[in-house]
Amino acid sequence: MISKVLNVPNISCHHCVRTIQRELGQVKGVAEVQADVQTKQVSVKVDSPETLAAVLKTLQEIGYPAAE
């Protein structure tokens, strides 16, 4: 299991948090997602580097580009 904290500067409200958690929760191999509006960070637990790449791609596609 790989744990990562991603900086996502576009998180601005609780709607953003819900959207991110819903979309990333649908990515195969994602075990846990926590988004935080105050820190503008997303914590994920994934099963492989490929899944982490899918998480980053999904965030980009839904308008929340992330940096590791």
CATH number assigned to the domain comprising residue 49 = 3.30.70.100
Please say whether the beta carbons of 44 and 4 come within 8 A: yes
State residue 50's pLDDT score. Answer: 97
Q: Structure pTM? A: 0.92
List the structure tokens of 56. Answer: 């980053």
Taking 90 as the threshold, does the pLDDT of residue 27 lie above it?
A: yes
State residue 23's pLDDT score. Answer: 97
Domain hosting 14: range is: 2-61
Angular region, 29: left φ>0, alpha ψ -120 to 50, beta rest: left
Q: How many Å apart are CA 55 and CA 57, to the nearest integer? A: 5
- How many domains does the chain divide into? 1
Please say whether the beta carbons of 52 and 46 come within 8 A: yes
Taking 90 as the threshold, does the pLDDT of residue 44 lie above it?
A: yes
pLDDT-derived band at 68 (thresholds 50, 70, 90) equals confident
Taking 90 as the threshold, does the pLDDT of residue 67 lie above it?
A: no
Does residue 16 sit within a domain? yes
**In this structure, which amino acid lies at residue 35?**
A
**In this structure, which amino acid lies at residue 41?**
Q
